[in-house]
Amino acid sequence: MTEAAGLVPKRILVTGGTGLVGKAIEKVVADGEGRPDEEWIFVSSRDADLTNAAETKALFEQHKPTHVIHLAAMVGGLFKNIRYNLDFWRRNIHINDNVLHSAYETGVQKVVSCLSTCIFPDKTTYPIDETMIHNGPPHSSNFGYSYAKRMIDIQNRGYFEQHGCRFTAVIPTNVFGPHDNFNIEDGHVLPGLIHKVYLAKQTGSALTVWGTGKPRRQFIYSLDLARLFLWVLREYDEVEPIILSVGEEDEVSIREAAEAIVEAMDFRGELLFDTTKADGQFKKTASNAKLRRYLPGFQFTPFRQAVKETCTWFSTNYANARK
């Protein structure tokens, strides 16, 4: 029907489709942002192990996507990164090379991959912008993940210069929302804190935040990021990456994030800080000026509302949540 109407249908393959960001894109598409000329295919490691070149190629030959949103990655919080830098480097390098090369070989028109603001140089000026990715070593805590992610940008440039491919990348800040990894040891700070508050409430104990609570972060709600992903896929034409973030003025300390969760979950216990635990990078304030030039009117969900929705989702789905 769409072909008869003159529209060329798109087959959009989403790698990492079962993760935090993939699930958010699936929801936004299902809730009405999808278009009639788009067919969405969400895949996970059960469909193909993307560290394996043959499995990756077979996946692309099976689905024949015209467009790809590439989210699949080994992902984790500060403490998992510190322990497994080598694994983060090797797995992500293999996944990214397999996906981008299969996309090239099967004639995919556009790939949108996912970098992260935690891959930027440790010693830098603020705010960080898209031109500064390669300007110096990343923070030592996550060098494996960071260098692997930075190489996506190098590959995108290479595929464009040698083959004219429209492969690009987005750079989100810290993402959170339903379907996150709420594991306290291995997950990111916000879902880890939500899980800790949940348990502290159950046991009537204090909430212990790891580190001083002073580091500052910009958090983006996964459903806001999902809407921005659709825009990038459809409208953004540059090979150069784009930061997807709330404004610099919306950066919050880990203490403020913990307080938002405490309020959302109505936790009445004591709030403690274990300063023997690492803080990670103090801040990585990113500029969303480029995004704002393209989309001046984009409305982000207010932080406290997004935290509340995520806490409610976690409490409601506790039995099946990743933890």
By the criterion CB under 6 A, which residues form the site for ligand NAP? Answer: 16-22, 44-46, 49-51, 71-75, 95, 114, 116, 172, 174-175, 181, 188
Coil vs helix vs strand at 298: coil
Active-site hit among 84, 104, 126, 145: 145
In this complex, which beta carbon is closest to ligand NAP, that of residue 18 or of residue 66? 18
CA distance 209 to 192: 9
CB of 270 to ligand NAP, least distance (A): 28
Concatenated DSSP letters for 192-258? HHHHHHHHHHHHT--EEEES-S--EE-EEEHHHHHHHHHHHHHH---SS-EEE---GGG-EEHHHHH
Q: Which residue is nearest to ligand NAP (CB)?
A: 19
Whether residue 84 lies in the annotated active site: no
Contact between 216 and 252 (Cβ < 8 Å): yes
In this complex, which beta carbon is closest to ligand NAP, that of residue 54 or of residue 206? 54
CB of 147 to ligand NAP, least distance (A): 13
Neighbours of 97 (CB within 10 A): 18
Neighbours of 38 (CB within 10 A): 19
Q: What are phi and psi of 203, to 5 degrees?
A: -95, -5
CB of 22 to ligand NAP, least distance (A): 5
CB of 280 to ligand NAP, least distance (A): 13
Coil vs helix vs strand at 185: coil
CB of 73 to ligand NAP, least distance (A): 4
Length of the chain: 323
Neighbours of 143 (CB within 10 A): 18
Picking from 92, 95, 97, the residue whose alpha carbon sits closest to that of residue 149 is 92
CA distance 80 to 183: 11
In this complex, which beta carbon is closest to ligand NAP, that of residue 104 or of residue 229? 229
In this complex, which beta carbon is closest to ligand NAP, that of residue 25 or of residue 165? 25
In this complex, which beta carbon is closest to ligand NAP, that of residue 17 or of residue 211? 17
Show which residues are catalytic. 145
